[in-house]
Amino acid sequence: MDFDLPSEITAKLAELDAFIDAEIKPLERENIRFFDHRREWARTNWEDDGRPADDWRAVIAEMERRADAAGHLRLCLPESCGGQAAGNLMNAAIREHLAAKGLGLHNDLQDESSIVGNFPIVPAIDRFGSEAQRQYIEGIITGDNHLSFALTEPGHGSDATWLETRAVRDGDDWVISGMKRWNSQVGRAKANLVFARTSGNDGDARGITAFVVPTDAPGHEILYNHWTFNMPSDHAEVALKDVRVPDSAILHEEGRGLEIAMMFIHENRIRQAAGSAGAARYCIAEAVAYARERKVFGEALASRQAIQFPLAELHAECELIRNYVFRTAWKMDRADPATFSDEVSICNYMANNLVCRAADFAMQVHGGVGYSRHKPFEHIYRHHRRYKITEGSEEVQKRRIAHRLFEFGKGAAA
């Protein structure tokens, strides 16, 4: 058994580091207000319901353009999408590595933008989409024709098989009615991937269908944007009132939309875990460095066991988790993640829990300056705290682990 990352991955990490230094850091320095203590204020259009500011989005777009021109942005996408099908292990290693570099334009936490793009819905469109629907592949990657994702509802989040949004057939059309919450990036999308029950009973995995709904369709209405713990926010409340779409709007097959949702979720769960492990590693390293230089009562802060032991525990946990994340990502390249979804949940739950504790303790080690926005720990904490809820809450991850551990609940979706 070889536990080292393959040479092609370590070589790619070095290549990305060189690209960041040459192309991304200069752009970041030119727009430093988005990364220093002013970042939340500068990034947010407070007059447009807290959405990302246009000039902030423009900087991200330029970063992605440079990354795409260099062959990095699509690295982990299928070859049919202009990618290199680099796989889950490559993706996880990159996300962990980039997050461990700290706050920067190369891998921004808030927008989840990166020089190696995170496009979890693209493989599903590539696999299941019609020729007309495949236009959104390039549109998502470039941002010119974006497709948002509408699964969560006001009354239903992780319990996705209990959706109240309904779609009823009317001749060759479907009429969709319901509400969606946390409908991320719908404000800048040309279409919305809406999940609705078309048959079956509440709790059934079958009977949920995914529809590609134009955002300008009559009855599709963005009500307001949710302001969150980490601003800016792009998470809207959306109403669907008798929205009519043709049968061709279905992505994949009628009644099998949950397969797309689970494909999306598994892709994002492992990537969240990898990013969280990397961000935790960054927080721990920064806290160690500061503790070594900071003098208290005539001695280095690092000489105190009250500082040593918590950091030793966090470091040990980080090493275990990041290696388990890599192992699970390696398995995902070889088998259907649905067959070991409990392991993906272990990665997600443990890594997201770790990074919040690591960021919190890094603040504590740094004292008052750690609490300030002149350090990135509050930003890291506020972003990764979201991961303990999204793509299935921490409790749902534990539930999935328990299902496998006790061998019950087979067939339940989570």
pLDDT digit string, tens, across residues 89-115? 999 999 999 999 999 999 987 778 999
Is the pLDDT at 157 greater than 90? The verdict is: no
Side chain identity at residue 355, one-letter code: V
> Residues 274, 109: contact at Cβ < 8 Å?
no
Show the domains of the chain with their CATH numbers: 7-122 (no CATH), 146-251 (2.40.110.10), 259-406 (1.20.140.10)
Q: What is the pTM of this model?
A: 0.93
Distance CA 12, CA 292 (A): 32
DSSP letter (8 states) at residue 148: E
For residue 92, what is the enclosing H or E element? helix 87-99
Cβ-proximal residues to 401 (8 Å cutoff; 6+ apart), any chain: 342, 345, 346, 349
> Which residue, 199, 198, 206, is CA-closest to 259?
206
In this predicted structure, what is the pLDDT of residue 414?
53
Rounded to whole angstroms, the Cα distance separating 147 from 313 reads: 42
Cβ-contact 414, 393 below 8 angstroms: no
Q: What is the pLDDT of residues 312-352, one digit of tens each?
A: 999 999 999 999 999 999 999 999 888 899 999 999 999 99
3-class secondary-structure state, position 73: coil
pLDDT digits (tens, 9 = 90+) for 232-265: 999 999 999 999 999 999 999 999 999 998 888 8
List own/partner pairs for 372-376 with CB under 8 A and 24 or more apart: 372/37, 373/37, 373/39, 373/40, 374/36, 374/37, 376/102, 376/103
% of the chain residues with pLDDT over 90? 90
| Residue 194 DSSP symbol | E
- Tokens 């995995």 belong to which residue? 205
CB-side neighbour CA atoms (13 Å) of 35: 19
Query: Which amino acids are annotated catalytic?
Result: 391
**How much is the pLDDT for 145?**
93
DSSP 20: I
Average pLDDT over residues 261-274: 89
